[in-house]
Structure 1
Amino acid sequence: MNEQIIQNYLSETIESFRSYKKLAEKAMAQVTGEEFFRAIDAEANSIAVIVKHIAGNLHSRWTDFLTTDGEKPDRNRDSEFIAESDTRESVLEFWEAGWKILFDSLESLKIEDLGKTVKIRGEDYTVVKAINRSLAHAASHIGQIMFLAKHFRVADWKTLSIPKNKSAEFNLDLAEKQKVETEKLSRFEVPPESSGQANSGE
């Protein structure tokens, strides 16, 4: 496999993980302490529980990623769905620790590591498949966090994407910014050297 393609895959995957983490944190920042722990019905998970579950999964999957099974024997998955004795601070501390393990592991991967195989619950996964699985898992639950935060904030919700009924305005603004950037770059372009010989006057 082309090494540049592999390097692009790794860097863009890390960028995607960071982007999803940032979205979750911007959503969580908009809810109160009570809302952080509130479940909207008897079967639903609170934001706190979802955060604990994402973090627990990251701890387990990415600790010694290449050398041990992704489902660690000391993981208590069921406890991730209980948050009665937790504080917001303790949950977010667990969250940060899980993401640190993920990023440290991803950033340490070498190009040749992507051809290896890892295990999750005894099942073989290519490294690429395991990475994609982890990204999809985090993204799906972060979508739940954003949904709940928006549900609690209602009209006070600060959108994390293009505002409703503002797509055309957003696209025009983006096009204008791109035009300005293009004009700035063109000012620094060096004119090509003349291919002809200098006039000697003869």
Structure 2
Amino acid sequence: MALKFTSSYIEDALAVFHQYKALGERAMQQVSDEQLFASLDDETNSIAIIVKHMVGNMRSRWTDFLTADGEKPSRNRDSEFVDPPATREALMREWDDGWAAVFGAIEPLTDADMGRTVTIRGEAHSVMQAINRQLAHYPQHVGQIVLLAKHYAGERWQTLSVARNKSAEFNRKVAAGEASQR
């Protein structure tokens, strides 16, 4: 995604969320269906479990964002770490639904809303703090997805950023207008 200069917090936050959604998708596209559901060991979550947890968080945090606590009584966080959707298609539908909740809550906001108060687990947050909380949380999990996908893809892995030992070439292309900086 090309960097767009903005001084709007909302516009920038949405761009970052879109960037991480796409990064996760590009990583998941590089693994087999079986690898989406594989765990490295008993203490490691599969990509599918990470997605299920993210979606549970997204639904809880962003549904009725301005009017209800971000930790909904109906959320069962522990259940997010077992029994993911059974197929890639079902998993990706969940992924898209979760992100739709994020974008649907943030897109109507304006920078004037940043000082409004919302609650998460009974604690007051400004809207900006609540968004920042998730801007830290979701990229952490997307990073886990990328690491697992890279592990599983092995030699088939197609880099999602600047390839190793290719920084000079990439910088030349950016300077020539042939590549995006982001």
Considering the TM-score relative to the shorter chain, is it more than 0.5?
A: yes
Q: CA deviation at 1:112?
A: 2.8
Do the aligned residues in 1 keep the contact of 2:48 with 2:85 (CA within 8 Å)?
no
Correspondences of 1:96-175 after superposition (within 5 Å)? 96-175=96-175
Structure 2 unmatched ranges of 5 or more: 1-5
Partner residue, 1:17: 17
1:86 aligned counterpart, secondary structure: coil
Q: Which has the higher helix share?
A: 1
Q: Which has the higher contact order (CA 8 A, sep 6+)?
A: 2
Do the aligned residues in 2 keep the contact of 1:150 with 1:157 (CA within 8 Å)?
yes
CA RMSD between the two structures: 1.5
For 1:123 and 1:86, the matched residues in 2 are separated by: 35
Do the aligned residues in 2 keep the contact of 1:37 with 1:83 (CA within 8 Å)?
no
Do the aligned residues in 1 keep the contact of 2:27 with 2:146 (CA within 8 Å)?
yes
For 2:150 and 2:111, the matched residues in 1 are separated by: 40
TM-score (norm 1): 0.82
Aligned amino acid, residue 115 of structure 1: G
Flag the structure with larger Rg: 1
Q: CA deviation at 1:84?
A: 5.6
Structure 1 unmatched ranges of 5 or more: 1-5, 179-202
Do the aligned residues in 2 keep the contact of 1:48 with 1:83 (CA within 8 Å)?
no
1:124 aligned counterpart, secondary structure: strand
How far does the alpha carbon of each residue in 1:104-124 deviate from its partner, in whole angstroms, 9 at most, with x for none? 110111333211111111111
TM-score (norm 2): 0.91
